[in-house]
Structure 1
């Protein structure tokens, strides 16, 4: 059995607000799934196109005490355990901890089981939960019924600043929360984990302040483009060239959760990453 996945985020909201966002069906439908049914301590279900294997609800409540909610979630033919814990840090700050069993990094890299999406699925969901609690527009939500990977985000910062955040190794490492090394030139390399971990992937197209494409092999080609929009920056992100019969949802959600962090990094003066 693998070690449980643990993710933490901090929201500028009180404990009661965080609890409501987690347990109110209308709130859940805004930041998590399209559909939900909640009647605690007996029922907590979510489903829809934004949820892996979301054709129907596959969750059951294992425990709930007002601060911790523990679910059994059947995914990929096995029941996993998902746990939310809310920790008050004062009247206007709550730490939200997510613990998830049955995440295997090898399944994520190999795209061999839907459970491989769990890390990036929850990273994006928690980012959306924080934005919901803080009254910010959500960056995006996934669609597990589609093999078209294209998304947009409007970032309240000038193009040059956003471009630098995307292409400077130190800045990309800061907002992504993981070492990133970039040899910034067409034909250069982009390395998640840094060049010490391997050579990375090739940058196949680069236009200063506008566009970068990277070739990830079987996972496909990822491309982001920047455009000015009323003093802000519109970022369009696309993945293409992968096997559409087995879309790399985990990789796609990893980029989407990264874009959510990129927005906060550029827009919030007191931004800090929480993992």
Structure 2
């Protein structure tokens, strides 16, 4: 795939100028996006570090810039890809609203399912998590956890503080309809030990779904056939700390794409539980 295709888009409750500033101010970018960032448009739009794919050094080259557009070349896996970030302001229900849409060349979803170690396989979830955190940052919420693409470990772990009681968090994690809503993708769940957990739905997965190997009021473990996803809840005073872990994979080839997908889902889970009139920040293409 060599032509840009839709990768991710979010709606942010803020004027376009505010969002554009967060996208181009190095100090702000270091909060929600990259460990290191240096920007001097129209000449330079550099980001790198452990939260960036192949982030040993900046690998970007600006191609086009305007008040609502940033286009840059980004070399990954020896290939020069093209990234376009386009902003569109509209009138929202409570004020100006900005749609931020990223299109990205050289991304092929089949790479994720093939288990490819190429950074190209992680582009979709990289941008989903980045834009989810951008929305939280601009709207004044705490930014969620980010992927460390330099980590050569056999376990990923993240914690998220949620302003909701533990029983509500548990239900959102174990009810098929609720999980499908906040994750933005069909999830079929049979919330019992031995029950299935199926991305794409129970009918589509059949007997090939993951299985709960442990489940109680505050924790769960789901076996994907070697790799295990676990979560634990610690709550008090109507607030909950969610600890989310993925383990059992080869430390030489960590599943960065899948981990980025989980983290982008979890920051949306927090919004789902905390916002009375929740509407997904992500916009389907």
Structure-2-length-normalised TM-score: 0.93
Count of paired positions: 273
How many angstroms does 1:93 deviate by? 1.2
8 Å contact kept, 1:180–1:190: yes
Q: How does 1:1-275 map to 2 (within 5 A)?
A: 1=1, 4-90=5-91, 92-112=96-116, 113-146=118-151, 147=153, 148-199=155-206, 200-207=209-216, 209-218=217-226, 220-273=227-280, 274-275=282-283
- Secondary structure of 1:5's partner? strand
Distance of 2:101 and 2:230 partners within structure 1: 32
Q: CA RMSD in A?
A: 1.3
CA distance in 1, matches of 2:225, 2:80: 32
Normalized against structure 1, the TM-score is what?
A: 0.96
Give the gaps of 5 or more residues in structure 2: none
Deviation at 1:89, TM superposition (A): 1.1
For 2:128 and 2:278, the matched residues in 1 are separated by 16
Return 5+ residue gaps in structure 1 as ranges: none
Distance 2:113 2:76 in 1: 17
SS in 1 for 2:83: strand
- Decide whether the 8 Å contact of 2:129 with 2:263 is kept in 1: yes
Q: Is the 8 A contact 1:5 1:103 kept in 2?
A: no
Change (3 A) 1:60 1:229: farther
CA displacement 1:50-105 (0-9 Å, x = unmatched)? 11110100111111111111111111111111111110113531111111111111
